[in-house]
Amino acid sequence: MSAGEPYRVWAPTAERVELALADDESPTTGAGPTDFADVETTEPMTRGEDGWWTSSTLRTPGCRYGFVVDGGAPLPDPRSLRQPDGPFGLSEVVDPADFVWTDDDWAGVPLRGAVIYELHVGTFTDEGTLDAAIHRLDHLVDLGVTMVELMPVATYPGRRGWGYDGVNIWAVHPAIGGPYALARFVDAAHAKGLAVCLDVVHNHMGPSGNTLIDYGPYFTDAHTTPWGPALNLDGPGADEVRRYVVDHALMWLRDYHVDALRLDAVHALVDDSAVHVLEQMALETGALADELGRELLLIAESDRNDPATVLPPVVGGAGGFGMDGQWADDVHHTLHVLLTGETQGYYADFDDPAALATLSSTPFFHAGTYSTFRGRVHGRPVVPELTPGWHFVASLQTHDQVGNRARGDRLSHLVSPGRLACGAALLLCGPWTPMLFMGEEWGASTRWAYFTDHVDAELAAAVSRGRAREFAEHGWGDGVPDPQDEATFTDSVLRWDELTRPDHARLLDWYRELIRLRREVPDLGDPDLTGPPARREDSGLLVLPRGRCEVVVNLTGAPVTRAMSGELLAAWGAEHSDVRLTLEADGCAVVAVGISRDAAAERG
């Protein structure tokens, strides 16, 4: 809602709703529930037949307000764009029309050909703000990425956290700069040719500060999620709840000029409606893209291994959900097992030669096959002609795969620089849309752990105890960082001075070179999934066929001398030209890209 419009709120079961307005000198603590002594006036609101209540007062930018439902304490607006005191305080009117934009000519970035960079604003820089992150955009441009993915920016209690416990999901967290800072970040990114993807969470709300339940049937007992009650997407009152979710997505794309949304754990959006909420979101996003004349993308995180996630919806009949992309965790798991040798938990199935296919010819190792971790058959095969590789976002590291380890170990803590380089080559020369996790490109020495700042003392203690108990059962003992300890957060902040150190700089140059090669050699980024899968040679070398190119890495653990490398390259000589021995590290890792003579001729 913009300035000059009346205040409105959906509260279909309320008998009475009042608008609460504050004076201009209200306190800003953000520490927890307030006594709302700053509320100056209240005004009865008028109920409409659709359950929406409307005020006679018009919205004014900067005004702080809340809604009183049936005589209770003032509550924040479910669609609040700013919570200066956090979830327990009043909302503040923000008019998106006040954002200053310079990106009128921006047309967006297609997912095909994109290289994504995932970052957490709070630990990306020492300052931990969106404005500080702007000053690091040149690093990303120089690296060669095309899209920056921000982990969730929604407001939650406290100052530090991953963002997945948001409760005011329309409001940008004040600790990272608030709504105007996000607008500045997006505008600055566009000025440098970078698209912005925002991670959003619709499948649950955080455990503290959620007031949606006071307004109406936002949740249902008919379904559950791993985090508690499910959002009501298909029961009585679901129409407005679905509108809340879809409007939330459209708001970021329209008002903040965001280019893409990463939708968290969409398999937990339980919806038995004929038109799934994801399909509805995809159709309305497509219409908005046509209206704005720029590329808008939806990328889903899904645990279902189902290509229907990225198949287009079919109006009037069965079809897909219409997402543009989805995360391909099976590719990550295959790479992780290859590089580290770890086979515990869900990694166990990926210690299988057949898993190599996920590196080049299918995003799903489990595609109607038995998963020992789940104890059942899982997934569905892809049809390469319908879902080429660019629809699937693959990675070596993500916030989940790093942060959910007991100590937040990165791959740089688990394997040698040479094996890191091999993993990067397999990822960045594959048919998938590659995504990097912040600091990966230079082998950051900082761990990235699970950290929280719950202001509810009982909840905070429970989280600390639960984390310690969970990993103690797996033999980690007392070495698990306490999520509530501020040091767990500060130890996760990137150290940018590492870029000047030779080993880190060398790996960074390698990432730059791989991204450049991917861009310049079409076969390396070709999303076609009909070619031969990756294979192991008798020598133990791993070969990734890429059209008329081949990428070869040595993961045998045995030294490969330059003479042996010369023999390898000589063996290719009859079929390949422009063969590049691009890196040799630790005396045991060789990565080469061989381009066929025909392909080289086409390049001129």
Task: Write out the binding residues for substrate.
Answer: 262-267, 329-333, 399-404
SS3 state at 315:
coil
Q: Where are the alpha helices (DSSP H) in 207-276?
A: 238-255
What CA dihedral angle connects 305, 308, 312 and 317, to 10 degrees?
Answer: -160
Largest distance between two CA atoms of the chain: 84
Full 3-state SS string of 372-410:
CCCCEEECCCCCCCCCCHHHEEEECCCHHHHHCCCCCCC
SS3 state at 39:
strand
Distance between CA atoms of 567 and 572, rounded to whole angstroms? Answer: 9
Distance between CA atoms of 178 and 103, rounded to whole angstroms? Answer: 20
Distance between CA atoms of 238 and 248, rounded to whole angstroms? Answer: 15
Beta-carbon contacts of 475 under 8 Å, excluding residues fewer than 6 positions away, are none
Q: Where are the alpha helices (DSSP H) in 164-255?
A: 178-191, 238-255
Element (H, E) at 583: strand 576-585
- 303 annotated active-site: no
- Whether residue 115 contacts residue 145, with contact meaning beta carbons closer than 8 Å, is answered with yes
Judged on CB neighbours under 10 Å (0-12, 13-18, 19+), 324 is buried
Residue among 75, 137, 148, 79 nearest 109 (CA): 148
- Dihedral class, residue 293 (left if φ above 0, else alpha if ψ from -120 to 50, else beta): left
Binding-site annotation: residue ranges: 262-267, 329-333, 399-404
Residue whose tokens read 């700013």:
82
Q: How many residues does the chain have?
A: 604
- 279 phi and psi angles, rounded to 5 deg: -65, -45
Q: Where are the alpha helices (DSSP H) in 192-297?
A: 238-255, 277-292
Residue whose tokens read 């040679």:
537
Q: Catalytic residue among 264, 482, 513, 523, which?
A: 264
- Whether residue 419 contacts residue 388, with contact meaning beta carbons closer than 8 Å, is answered with no
Distance between CA atoms of 389 and 286, rounded to whole angstroms? Answer: 21
- 301 annotated active-site: yes
Beta-carbon neighbour count of residue 137 at 10 Å? 17
Rg (alpha carbons) of the chain, rounded to whole number: 25
Q: Catalytic residue among 38, 165, 240, 301, which?
A: 301
Beta-carbon neighbour count of residue 377 at 10 Å? 12
- Whether residue 85 contacts residue 364, with contact meaning beta carbons closer than 8 Å, is answered with no
Residue whose tokens read 């990303």:
140
- Whether residue 230 contacts residue 79, with contact meaning beta carbons closer than 8 Å, is answered with no
| Proportion of the chain in helix, strand, coil states, percent, rounded to 5 | 35, 20, 45
Q: How far does Cα 407 stand from its chain's mean position?
A: 21
- Whether residue 149 contacts residue 197, with contact meaning beta carbons closer than 8 Å, is answered with yes
Residue among 263, 198, 251, 296 nearest 81 (CA): 251
- The residues assigned a catalytic role are 264, 301
